[in-house]
Amino acid sequence: MEIPSEDFLHFLWKTKGFDVKTLNTTSGDEIQILDLGVHNHDAGPDFSNAKLRIGNHIWVGNVEIHIKASDWNKHKHSQNSSYDSVILHVVYEEDIQIQNSQGNNIPCFEFKNRIPKNVLSTYHKLQAGKNENLIPCQSLLHTVSDLRKNIFLERLLVERLEYKSKFAMEIYEEEKGDWYMIFIRMLLVAFGTKVNKEACIMLGQRLDKRIILQLRSKLNSLEAYLFGLSGFLEDGQDVYSLSLAKEYIFLKQKYQLQSLPKNIWKFSRMRPQNFPTIRIAQLCALLNQKQDILNQVLELDVNLDLKNIFNVELSSYWNNHFTLGQESTISKKNMGKTFQDLICINCFSPFLFLYGQQHDDQRYKDRAIMVLEDLKAEKNKITKQWESLGMENKTAKNSQALIHLKNNYCSNMQCLSCDIGYTLLKTQN
């Protein structure tokens, strides 16, 4: 049978997931575990401040874990005085006797033949999924209680928001804590969706608050500024785009603006309604007609009136255009419900969470979760896969947690860090 990984041996040690009766070192000394120690995820021995009785003596120090004892030398621990504090070397198999930098033998405990067969079998079942596009525990998931799964998903949702707030934190630092610009830039990236995310990040880095505040009361001027910065006005082809280009030239000279290259924007394989030109036009309309949008999002005493927030009118030019200079059949370019939900998921919620973090105010973090509770669940390949396994997916709160679970745990085979994987292995013990 395949030899377990070192991470699995860490799991066994910290959970006592092995036969703990009559423990002995490989040299025959009795071992009594008084304190397993604290799992160390940084450099140095794997478990610190362990307390063990070995033979007739009580030892306090560190525990190092390897698959084979010879890994000690491969990792050059015998030359590193930081490992002289190791009081027990825990291995799957002892193939050699090892020593510390002082030349002293280190007592060794061997896991081999002490791992319960059902625990090892469950571990290998989880590992079998690593070569397939599957949920590793899908054949065992039904054995975990709904309560246990739901508690873990609650924690995953917070992890998801913390994960998203890392990107928002980069904007926070670039904008030196200017919450208006942080919000506008997060809004812009959300409008770009995955396809044009990078282009929107670049555009956001070039935005100037002074100019936005000066122009936001004039929709055409705001469009001139954003479309010009985006690189869409370099080759104006009709009266409207030429008028925007003329105004942008003035702004460019006055503020020494640098336009992005037009070719960074992606249009292929997209519905015209999702073209970056339409999304920029919608963003301009939102900034023009909902100038208090930031205050509305931060308002704690009332529910977000999403229908009202997204109810904006684009300039009439876009009634028969999807791109600048090319006419199309007449159609309204309102933001659809699905797109509105994406803005709430990818901007409003993580923005509120970041705001709560930076102000040490739990109310905003709670509101970030409430925003997701009020939205319908996302339906995609990942959430459908979870639904087929009986996982609840009724709101965006559920779907965000499930997406995080698949992308950050299942796809990376982090079963030993997952509460579900942990439960499966513990219940087999």
Split at pLDDT 50, 70, 90, the class of 129 is: low
For residues 12 and 116, what is the distance between their CA atoms, to the nearest angstrom? 10
Q: Of the candidates 18, 39, 42, which has an alpha carbon nearest to the alpha carbon of residue 123?
A: 18
Q: Are 389 and 141 in contact (CB under 8 A)?
A: yes
Q: Are 229 and 203 in contact (CB under 8 A)?
A: yes
Split at pLDDT 50, 70, 90, the class of 221 is: very high
Mean pLDDT of 186-198: 96
Alpha helix positions (H), 290-361? 293-298, 306-309, 337-343, 349-358
How confident is the model at residue 269, as a pLDDT? 87
How confident is the model at residue 328, as a pLDDT? 94
pLDDT over 70 at 428, yes or no: no
Is residue 2 exposed (0-12), middle (13-18) or buried (19+ Cβ within 10 Å)? exposed
- Under 8 Å CB-to-CB from 313, ≥6 apart: which residues? 285, 289
Mean pLDDT of 365-376: 94
How confident is the model at residue 141, as a pLDDT? 93
Answering whether pTM is above 0.75, one says yes
- Angle CA 332–289–182, to nearest 5: 110
Measure CA 411 to chain center.
13
DSSP 153-209: HHHHHHHHHHHHHHHHHHHHHHTTT-HHHHHHHHHHHHHHTTTTHHHHHHHHHT--H
How confident is the model at residue 388, as a pLDDT? 94
pLDDT over 60 at 198, yes or no: yes
How confident is the model at residue 60, as a pLDDT? 97
Mean pLDDT of 184-197: 96
**In 3-state terms, the chain is what percent helix, strand and coil (to 5)?**
55, 10, 35
For residues 346 and 135, what is the distance between their CA atoms, to the nearest angstrom? 25
For residues 425 and 416, what is the distance between their CA atoms, to the nearest angstrom? 9
pLDDT over 70 at 427, yes or no: no
For residues 424 and 141, what is the distance between their CA atoms, to the nearest angstrom? 8
How confident is the model at residue 125, as a pLDDT? 86
- Report pLDDT digits (tens) over 60-71: 999 999 999 999
- Report pLDDT digits (tens) over 297-328: 998 665 666 668 899 999 999 999 999 999 99
Mean pLDDT of 120-139: 81
